[in-house]
């Protein structure tokens, strides 16, 4: 997965039985479902969404999308702040869509004011593993597989079918996100952050941050 995918702010229509391969965006944004529905598997986990629900994406999140027979109409709005959760809902999506046609930033502000979080559903073990990897990016995959009575090869294949990446790669991205959050907060040395996040050394963290964001850790330190 090279580079970042462009976000088309405004209404976006997807036909039935299509899919979007795993990709990453450089900006935070919300995807409000206006009609239809689809499944998204990404950094926050796997969600199956319908009209009135909102998928939220932080900077550098990766995900893939699968649309069912009816497709979907989606309103994409850029966000000024990083969302704290992955799924929410709003009371009046049609009003937001009309406002966005005239003033997209105002629509984003209105969405933020209306947005209510929804719990992340856990359908089966790939969803459970994704949640646990986000909570603990140093989770041992062999120990997790043994705890759930699964063979490591089964875990790798099954997770890959849902998320289009390996559990190890998903864990590495979660670890890089934790390190990036610590770097942008400031107050800690890069070596200390690398150690706390579970990297072998600072150079290992530097490669991971560059792979995630396209820039090395020092650029994020200087941005504060």
In this predicted model, what pLDDT tens digit does every residue of 49-62 receive, in sequence order? 999 999 999 999 99
If we measure between CA atoms, which residue out of 99, 48, 45 comes closest to residue 77?
Answer: 99
**Amino acid 221: pLDDT:** 84
Residue 205 CA to residue 14 CA, distance in Å, equals: 37
Q: How buried is 3 (Cβ within 10 angstroms: 0-12 exposed, 13-18 middle, 19+ buried)?
A: exposed
| Residue 5 placed within a domain | no
Together in a domain, 73 and 16: yes
Whether the CB-CB separation of 180 and 213 falls below 8 Å is answered with yes
| pLDDT for 187 beyond 90 | no
Domain that holds residue 66: 10-117
Task: Tell me the percentage of the chain whose pLDDT exceeds 90.
Answer: 91
| Residue 1 placed within a domain | no
Q: What band does 20 get if pLDDT is binned at 50, 70 and 90?
A: very high
Together in a domain, 154 and 113: no
| pLDDT for 184 beyond 80 | yes
Together in a domain, 113 and 130: no
SS3 category, 143:
helix
Together in a domain, 105 and 25: yes
Task: Tell me the percentage of the chain whose pLDDT exceeds 70.
Answer: 98
Together in a domain, 141 and 94: no
| pLDDT for 223 beyond 60 | no
| pLDDT for 122 beyond 80 | no
Together in a domain, 197 and 181: yes
Domain boundary among 117, 143, 161: 117
Together in a domain, 131 and 113: no
Q: What is the rounded end-to-end Cα distance, in angstroms, of the chain?
A: 28
Together in a domain, 131 and 112: no
Together in a domain, 162 and 113: no
Domain boundary among 117, 143, 162: 117
Domain boundary among 93, 117, 141: 117
Mean pLDDT of 12-27: 96
| pLDDT for 224 beyond 50 | no
Q: What is the pTM of this model?
A: 0.92
Mean pLDDT of 101-109: 96
Residue-averaged pLDDT of the chain? 94
Q: Which of 3-7, 28-32, 97-101, 161-165 comes out lowest in average pLDDT?
A: 3-7
| pLDDT for 101 beyond 80 | yes
Q: Which of 22-31, 180-189, 202-211 comes out lowest in average pLDDT?
A: 180-189
């Amino acid at each position: 997965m090279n580079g970042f995918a462009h976000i088309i702010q405004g209404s976006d229509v997807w036909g039935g039985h299509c899919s979007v391969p795993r990709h990453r965006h450089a900006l935070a944004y919300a995807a409000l479902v206006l009609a239809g529905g689809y499944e998204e598997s990404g950094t926050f986990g796997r969600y199956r969404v319908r009209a009135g629900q909102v998928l939220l994406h932080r900077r550098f999140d990766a995900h893939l999308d699968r649309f069912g027979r009816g497709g979907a109409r989606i309103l994409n709005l850029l966000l000024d702040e990083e969302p704290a959760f992955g799924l929410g809902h709003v009371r009046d999506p049609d009003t937001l869509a009309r406002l966005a046609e005239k003033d997209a930033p105002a629509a984003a502000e209105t969405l933020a004011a209306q947005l209510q979080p929804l719990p992340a559903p856990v359908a089966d073990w790939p969803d459970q593993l994704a949640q646990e990897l986000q909570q603990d990016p140093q989770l041992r995959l062999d120990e997790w597989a043994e705890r759930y009575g699964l063979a490591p090869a089964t875990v790798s294949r099954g997770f890959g079918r849902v998320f289009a990446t390996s559990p190890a790669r998903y864990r590495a991205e979660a670890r890089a996100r934790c390190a990036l959050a610590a770097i942008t907060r400031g107050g800690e040395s890069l070596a200390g952050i690398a150690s706390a996040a579970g990297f072998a050394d600072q150079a290992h963290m530097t490669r991971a941050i560059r792979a995630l964001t396209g820039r090395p850790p020092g650029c994020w330190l200087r941005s504060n």
